[in-house]
Amino acid sequence: MAKDLRPVHTAANEAAALARFQEFDDQWGQRYPAITRVWRSAWTEFVPFLDYDVEVDASSPATNAIETSTPDTAGRYEPEDTSRPSRPR
């Protein structure tokens, strides 16, 4: 599914993105209607991101990339396990 959304967010302009989104909706909309609803409701917020080059999008740093550049801190910022209630010590 993610590979079918990629042409939407890498489109050259809004018209191309809308055409690719329609193709995505035709393929996945029946099975996952919530996804297409979210995209439709956020479309106006999404469109300005089409102005960015694909290269800029691909080069955006992520936390994982930051952690791998400093291996001594890798894993130090993992979220605590919240599946069990904490006990007083």
Residue 76 has pLDDT above 70, yes or no: no
89 or 48: whose pLDDT is higher?
A: 48
32 within domain boundaries: yes
Predicted confidence at residue 30, as pLDDT, reads 94
Residue 64 has pLDDT above 80, yes or no: no
Residue 37 has pLDDT above 60, yes or no: yes
Task: Provide the number of structural domains found in the chain.
Answer: 1
The model carries a pTM of: 0.58
CA distance 49 to 60: 13
21 within domain boundaries: yes
Residues 6+ apart with CB under 8 A from 24: 4, 5, 7, 8, 36
Q: Which helix (H) or strand (E) holds 2?
A: helix 2-9
Predicted confidence at residue 31, as pLDDT, reads 94
88 within domain boundaries: no
Mean pLDDT over the full length of the chain: 76
Please work out, in degrees rounded to the nearest 5, the angle formed at the alpha carbon of residue 16 by the alpha carbons of 13 and 20: 135
Q: Of 17, 23, 18, 19, whose CA–CA distance to 4 is shortest?
A: 23
